[in-house]
DNA sequence: TTGACATATTCCCATATGGGTATATATTTT
DNA sequence: AAAATATATACCCATATGGGAATATGTCAA
């Protein structure tokens, strides 16, 4: 199979830098597509397509006003990503983690650990 | 252009569910490829290829011991993702974003506005 | 050396991509 | 009505993908 669709989940949707930029802009205040086209350096169809992806995964919401469509970030959609990354926080927070975990891993899964500390 | 390479940054690398699974396993303790193959339900070449991607973006480190290679998550590499998602935290934290902003825009007094949001 | 074991790489292929360009749809204005 | 405006979609295409299968590389044991 090929790579998962960008619309398969928030992780895939957010992998694209332009879409992260859109989310950052639209979390402050809602904006119409035209304003996004002006703010970023890309043409309108690209913006619309990126918004479509974000919409499909629930990362943005739309509101129509006349011929304008106002988009805004749905921050709740980012929460799962935040929580996933958060589960790694304790492993970088203290620098002692590395050394400590290493000793831990040695006793558990690496009985014959006379090997040198080749960290690379 | 096509989609950015999975090795272009951590965002793209973690978009793949299997790779997130690998990172979760390898953050607890280092493991050889064989153990990962057994733990996950996929064949060895796939595991090796996923590890290659994670390695290219610095999300895992390798240590060789004989014919085994022990991989372990480099939690520091997840930090940028955490910080990016964190910049959205204040917008979901107290649910105040949506409702509050909306009420703000509606300077008109609306005493009995406990009704549900008309959004979507 | 040969053989067994562990991991990495190469090949093929169906699929989704994102940018560009053109066109379609929707809404307001004249 | 038509024209102007705002946004969305369709199309083409070069590119990277991830899985499977086969093969290559590396390391230890006999």
A32 strand-pairing partners: A70
Question: Rounded mean pLDDT of chain B?
Answer: 83
C-alpha to C-alpha distances, A81 to A84, B55, B62, B86, nearest whole angstrom: 5, 21, 26, 9
* pLDDT tens readout for residues B73-111: 999 999 999 999 999 999 998 665 444 444 444 333 333
Residues of B with CB under 8 A from a CB of A: 3-4, 6, 11-12, 14-17, 20, 23-24, 27-31, 35, 61-66, 70, 72-73, 75-76, 78-79, 81-82, 84-89, 91-92, 97, 101, 119-120
Write phi, then psi, for B62 (nearest 5 degrees).
-120, 150
State the DSSP string of B5-41.
PTTS-HHHHTTSHHHHHHHHHHHHS-EEHHHHHHHSS
Residue A67 corresponds to which tokens in the numbers above?
């011929």
| pLDDT given at position A51 | 98
C-alpha to C-alpha distances, A52 to A48, B30, B52, nearest whole angstrom: 6, 40, 32
Predicted confidence band of residue B1 (pLDDT cuts 50, 70, 90): confident
* pLDDT tens readout for residues B48-61: 999 999 999 999 99
| pLDDT given at position B103 | 46
Cα separation, B46 vs A107, in Å, equals 28
Cα separation, B26 vs B31, in Å, equals 6
C-alpha to C-alpha distances, A12 to A19, A56, A86, nearest whole angstrom: 10, 12, 18
Cα separation, B30 vs B93, in Å, equals 35
Higher pLDDT, B74 or A94: B74
Selected residue of B26, B31, B78, B94 to mutate for chain A interface (largest A Cβ count, 10 A): B78
Write phi, then psi, for A79 (nearest 5 degrees).
-55, -45
Cα separation, B33 vs B39, in Å, equals 10
| pLDDT given at position B105 | 42
């Amino acid at each position: 199979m090929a790579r998962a669709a960008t619309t398969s989940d928030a992780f895939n949707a957010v992998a694209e830098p332009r879409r992260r930029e859109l989310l950052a802009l639209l979390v402050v205040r809602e904006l119409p597509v035209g304003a996004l086209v002006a703010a970023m350096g890309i043409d309108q169809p690209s913006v619309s397509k990126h918004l479509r992806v974000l919409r499909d995964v629930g990362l943005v919401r739309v509101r129509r006003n006349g011929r304008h469509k106002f988009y805004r970030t749905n921050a709740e959609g980012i929460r799962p990503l935040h929580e996933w990354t958060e589960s790694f926080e304790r492993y970088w927070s203290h620098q002692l983690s590395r050394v400590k975990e290493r000793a831990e891993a040695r006793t558990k899964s690496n009985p014959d650990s006379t090997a040198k500390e080749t960290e690379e």
